[in-house]
Structure 1
Amino acid sequence: MYRFLLSPRWLGYAALTVLASALMVLAGVWQYERYAQRTASNARVAAAEATVPAPVAAVLPVPGAAAGAVGAAPPAARQWARVTATGRYDAAHQVLVRGRNRDGARGFEVLTPLRLPGGAGLLVDRGWIAAVGGDARARPAVPPPPPGEVTVVGRVAPPESGAGPVDRVDGRPEVRRISPAHLAPLLPYPTFGAYLLRDADSPDPGGDPLAAVESPRQRTWQNAGYVVQWWLFAVMTWVGFVWLVRREAHAPPRPAPPSPAPAPAPAR
Structure 2
Amino acid sequence: MSRYRFVFSWRWIRLHVLIWLILIPSFIGLGMWQRSRYHERTAENAVIRTAMNAPPVPIEGADAVGAAVPQKARWKQLTLVGTYDAAHQFLARNRQENGNPGFFVITPMTLSDGTSVLINRGWIATVSSDQQQSPAIPAAPAGTVTVTGRLQQSETKGNTGIRDVTAGLPAGQISLINTEALAAKTGLQLRGGYAEVITSKPADASQITAVDAPSLDEGPYLSYWFQWWLFCVIAAGGWITIIRREAQHRDREAAEAAEEDEYEDGEDDDEPVAEDEPDTEDEDAAATPTTATATATATAPAP
Who is 1:138 aligned against? 133
Who is 1:187 aligned against? 186
Who is 2:57 aligned against? 54
* Equivalent residue for 1:98, pick from 93, 97, 102: 93
Contact 1:29–1:227 (CA under 8 A) maintained in structure 2: yes
SS in 2 for 1:195: strand
Who is 2:33 aligned against? 30
Who is 1:68 aligned against? none
Bigger mean CA deviation after superposition, 75-84 or 18-27? 18-27
Contact 1:166–1:182 (CA under 8 A) maintained in structure 2: no
Amino acid at match of 2:181: H
Amino acid at match of 1:39: T
- Per-residue displacement from partner, 1:102-151 (whole Å, max 9, x unpaired)? 11111000000001111111110000011013532222222100000111
> Percent identity at matched positions?
33
Amino acid at match of 1:110: V
Who is 1:238 aligned against? 236
Aligned length: 248
Who is 2:288 aligned against? none
Contact 1:128–1:212 (CA under 8 A) maintained in structure 2: yes
Contact 1:168–1:174 (CA under 8 A) maintained in structure 2: no
How is 1:172-211 mapped onto 2 (pairs within 5 angstroms)? 172-204=171-203, 207-211=205-209
* Separation in 1, partners of 2:4, 2:200: 79
* Separation in 1, partners of 2:53, 2:231: 41
SS in 2 for 1:132: coil
- TM-score with structure 2 setting the length: 0.74
Who is 2:253 aligned against? 253
Which of structures 1 and 2 has the larger relative contact order (alpha carbons within 8 angstroms, sep 6+)?
1
Q: Give how far 1:223 is off.
A: 2.0
Q: Give how far 1:72 is off.
A: 0.7
Contact 1:166–1:173 (CA under 8 A) maintained in structure 2: no
More helix per residue:
2
Is the aligned partner of 1:149 residue 2:141?
A: no
Contact 1:120–1:191 (CA under 8 A) maintained in structure 2: yes
* Separation in 2, partners of 1:34, 1:87: 39
Is the aligned partner of 1:77 residue 2:72?
A: yes
SS in 1 for 2:79: strand
More strand per residue:
1
* Separation in 1, partners of 2:75, 2:41: 15
SS in 2 for 1:253: helix
* Separation in 2, partners of 1:195, 1:138: 24
Who is 2:123 aligned against? 128
> Where do 5+ consecutive residues of structure 1 fail to align?
64-70, 259-268
Who is 1:67 aligned against? none
Who is 1:13 aligned against? 15
> Where do 5+ consecutive residues of structure 2 fail to align?
158-162, 262-303
Distance 1:148 1:245, change over 3 A: same
Contact 1:95–1:110 (CA under 8 A) maintained in structure 2: yes
